[in-house]
Amino acid sequence: MTASLASLALGAPGIYPAASEPIRMLTGVRMDVCAFAGVAPRGPARDPYFDAEWAPKPESERPRDLNVKLATPVAVESWSEYTRLFGSFEGPGLLPYAVSAFFDNGGRRAYIVRIVHQYFKADGSGDDDKNGAGFARAAFAGLTASGGRAVWVRARNEGSWGNSLRVTLSFTARTLGLAASDFYVDRLSLPNGADAVPGAVLRLFLGAGVKTIRRISLVTEDWNPLDGSRQTWAWFDHATASAAQSAELIEGVVTIDDGVNAIETFEHVGLAANHPRWLANVLVNDSERLYPCDDPALGSGNPLASWIDADLDVDARLDPIATAVFTGGTDRYADIVPEDFFDSEWVLGDDAPGCGVHALTQLDDLSLVVVPDLYSPGALAPIESIVEPATFAGAEFAECIDPAPPDAQGEPAEDLTGLRLDPSVDFDAIVALQRQLADLADDLESFIVLLDVPPRLSQKKMLNWRAKFDSAYAAAYYPWLDVTRADDARDAKIAVNPSAAAAGIIAQRETQFGVPYGPANVIATGVVAVEDRVSPARHAELHQNAVNVFVPERDGVRLTAARTLSRDPQWRQLNVRRLVTMIRRVLERQMQWVVFEPNTRQLRFQIARLLDAFLRQLYRANAFAGATEAEAFFVKCDDELNPPVSQEAGRLLAHVGVAPAEPLEFIVVNLAREGDSILTAEDH
């Protein structure tokens, strides 16, 4: 008999519910999720703060008095999902190359933060006009809302990609099975269970080919005096000249095409502001590409500028309505500066996510951070022309004629001139930026930031760079890696941050073996060459200074180490830091139930048992050093550690000690020649 049944008080014969005790156990958490912050041609940025009713939130409820979320972390789980949301390689940033390297090397989940520039006025306040100027906008041609308001929409986020948007509003008509006696000039009678709701649009047929549009303003129920049954009435927004003979329920269908991804389609769209699926609500809540917006010619202060609280003027012919050409979308890459990657007002303990990389502070599953566009060491290769020259060459000899001029090649993407820093000239500025990342990781103690040793530095300068850091929550990688992509129009080798491939390798090793295993000694996928072939002597010096080096070998480019930038020997290995972080994360998340329990000896025994069982699992997975469990870990949660005075203060204390296993980095082989000229080799 279980303890819960033994303690159950039984009375008269009957059925007694036995409360089941929750099963308490600790399980590991994933540590392979990586965040990338950089420059992309599209993707969430400057998202307005909307409440549940799509209305803008009051300024008192917005963090730091911003009208928009400058940076929004978005989770993606594949390269194709990334390209759908953020575009491909058409921009000047390294972000897409870094993300593709992550997934190529085994990454499974990444958060993406698109960085855009925040414009300010001379007085230091945000410049709303400039911040909103990069969005493509268009109005529905021939469509108005009540009061003659134009119906404007804009791209979901800024960038020239929005100029390719095409949006169409079409209509569906569903006949209502009603008798002529159900119609009145101001209302109609609906059968029980009819799905007509306030805000629904009806097309009424009055006879003699006359059709008119009415909206349902109110739905009521009352008693039928003839038979005592309930009857439902749908009241029109205004009466008709005569009672209708039949009716159709009209709903909208919105299609949104950006010329690249699959077309977005939204059905059963409401055409009045009080409809449950009002067009503006659908765009705000469901679309990835479009927002409603005010008429830019009138300005937000004009009551006729906004249509989101109005009703659409639907013509009874129900002809499809398309938007005019979208214009105004601009990329503004050159305006982005390193300061856009950080939130100067964010402080440790701030409940609200900040801007830039500080938007990542509230992600509880984040373990790695890579910032590929923190600075730009040089421009990427230009995109190859895709406009073929005209030719009249043929099999027969004939007089030459002048060919027509070819179509104009599209303008190349702007460069990241605001992020351009030369490592040999701007060394201190680069170090200062990377130190900000390492300091944030140290403050939060929840993720590892992967840093790239700046390219084109001498060995002495690299060691000088390494001396600037002392953090168990940062790791350094070198050299930069050359990659080529078949789907990249540049058709050239691109030097990509080595930290991106390293992040994928870390994720892949965790998936294959678990956190305790060192994420190194792996061939990087998709890498064709390295920017700097490190000699064995230089490699030895860099390794002893905790710089993780990619080395070209016969079968590919291999990541040879996984060390942190900590000067403390116990935190030297990256897997040790990640293992301890994982243990702490498990305890913080899965032991919250203890807060609501009485501090009794039984509770302390239960806690010790749970911790012991969890650590035993890790020991069996080779996470700890030691020949026995006693040598590998200990758990203490007893009366000595929790005296009565501590219990009275509402405090419970448990001590956990572990001896993490470090990866084998060196194998020493002794060569000895015996007296009989026999050569022997022994490894230690």
CATH number, domain with residue 42 = 3.40.50.11780
Residue 465's pLDDT is 98
Whether 235 and 350 map to the same domain: the answer is no
- Helix, strand, or coil (residue 20): coil
- Supply the pLDDT for residue 391: 59
Q: What percent of the chain has pLDDT over 70?
A: 87
How many domains in the chain? Answer: 3
**Residue 66: predicted pLDDT:** 55
Burial annotation 10-23 (CB, 10 A radius, 16+ → b, else e):
eeeeeeeeeeeeee
The more confidently predicted of residues 677 and 151 is: 151
Q: Report yes or no on 655 lying in a domain.
A: yes
Are 368 and 516 in the same domain? yes
Q: What is the mean pLDDT of residues 458-472?
A: 97
Same domain, yes or no, for 110 and 174?
A: no
Q: Specify if 556 maps to a domain.
A: no
Per-residue model confidence as pLDDT tens digits over 101-146: 999 999 999 999 999 999 988 888 888 889 889 999 999 999 999 9
pLDDT at residue 399 is higher than 70: no
> Is 20 within the bounds of a domain?
no
Confidence of residue 53 (pLDDT cuts 50, 70, 90): very low
d(CA 74, CA 360): 10
**Is the domain of 160 the same as that of 52?**
no
* One domain, residues 420 and 472: yes
Domain boundary residue among 521, 536, 558? 521
What does DSSP say about strands 137-145 and 149-155: parallel, antiparallel, or unpaired? antiparallel
What pLDDT score was predicted for residue 65?
47
DSSP lists the bridge partners of residue 551 as: 558
Between the CA of residue 278 and those of 275, 285, 290, 312, 591, what are the distances in Å? 5, 11, 14, 10, 44
Residues 6+ apart with CB under 8 A from 425: none
Average pLDDT over residues 506-511: 95
Last residue of a domain, one of 461, 491, 521: 521
- Tokens read off for 151: 């119906």
- Report residue 54's pLDDT band, with 50, 70 and 90 as the boundaries: very low
Angle, helix 427-444 to helix 459-466, in steps of 10 degrees: 30
Give the least confident one: 218-232, 236-250, 394-408: 394-408
For the chain, state the CA radius of gyration.
33
Q: Does residue 601 sit in the same domain as residue 674? A: yes
Average pLDDT, the chain: 88
Q: How confident is the model at residue 63 (pLDDT cuts 50, 70, 90)?
A: very low
Q: Is 504 found in the same domain as 358?
A: yes
Which DSSP letter does residue 270 get? Answer: B
Contacts of 158 (CB under 8 A, 6+ apart): 45, 46, 116, 134, 135, 329, 330, 331, 332
Same domain, 139 and 286: yes
| Sequence-ordered strand ranges (E) for 156-284 | 166-175, 187-190, 201-207, 210-223, 230-236, 246-257, 264-269
> What is the reported pLDDT for 681?
55
- Torsion over CA: 166, 96, 489, 454 (sign): positive
For residue 101, what are the domain limits? 34-121+332-385+411-521
Residue 194 is predicted with a pLDDT of 72
pLDDT of residue 287 exceeding 50, the answer is yes
pLDDT digits (tens, 9 = 90+) for 440-456: 999 999 999 999 999 99
Average pLDDT for residues 268-277, to the nearest whole number?
Answer: 95
Cβ(94)–Cβ(38) below 8 Å: yes
* Helix, strand, or coil (residue 326): coil
Burial classification of residue 525, based on how many CB atoms lie within 10 Å of its CB (0-12 exposed, 13-18 middle, 19 or more buried):
middle
Mean pLDDT, residues 151-174 taken together: 96
Pairing of strands 368-370, 448-452: parallel
Whether the CB-CB separation of 37 and 74 falls below 8 Å is answered with no
Q: Residue 277: pLDDT above 50? A: yes
Residues 270-277, mean pLDDT to the nearest whole number: 94
Confidence label for 502 from pLDDT (cuts 50, 70 and 90): very high
Q: How far apart are CA 40 and CA 109, in angstroms?
A: 18
- Let me know: does 47 contact 132? Beta carbons within 8 Å: no
Domain boundary among 299, 322, 345: 322
- Residues 146/301, Cβ–Cβ less than 8 Å: no
Q: What is the pLDDT of residue 393?
A: 58
Please report the pLDDT score of residue 8 as a whole number: 64
Q: In terms of DSSP bridges, do strands 47-48 and 655-658 run parallel, antiparallel, or are they unpaired?
A: unpaired
Confidence at residue 405, expressed as pLDDT on a 0 to 100 scale: 61
Name, in order, each residue with C-beta under 8 angstroms of 449's C-beta and a sequence gap of 6 or more: 368, 369, 370, 371, 437, 438, 440, 441, 473, 474, 475
What's the mean pLDDT in 583-609? 89
| pLDDT at residue 93 greater than cutoff 90 | yes
What does DSSP say about strands 474-478 and 448-452: parallel, antiparallel, or unpaired? parallel
Q: List pLDDT tens digits, range 649-672.
A: 888 899 999 999 887 665 556 666
Looking at the fold, whether 347 and 445 belong to one and the same domain comes out as yes
Of 69, 66, 64, nearest to 116 (Cα)?
69
Q: Is 559 helix (H, G, I), strand (E, B) or coil?
A: strand
Tokens of 430: 């680069």
Q: Is residue 65 part of a domain?
A: yes
Positive or negative, the Cα torsion across 429, 431, 433, 436?
negative
**Residue 400 pLDDT:** 64
**Does 231 or 481 have the greater pLDDT score?**
481
Question: Is 197 within a domain?
Answer: yes
- What is the pLDDT averaged over residues 25-39? 92
Number of Cβ within 10 Å of residue 260's Cβ equals 13
Predicted pLDDT at 646 = 85
Residue 113 lies in a domain: yes
Percent of the chain whose predicted confidence (pLDDT) is above 90: 66
pLDDT of res. 397 = 65
Residue with structure tokens 């003659």? 148
Q: Which pLDDT tens digit goes with each residue over 547-576?
A: 999 999 999 999 999 999 999 999 999 999
The predicted pLDDT at position 18 comes to 65
Q: Which two tokens stand for residue 401?
A: 């004629």
- Domain co-membership, 298 together with 168: yes
Is 660 domain-assigned?
yes
Q: What is the pLDDT of residue 52?
A: 46
Nearest alpha-carbon partner for 547 in 626, 618, 478: 478
657 and 621 co-located in one domain: yes
Do 347 and 229 fall into the same domain?
no
Residue 345 lies in a domain: yes
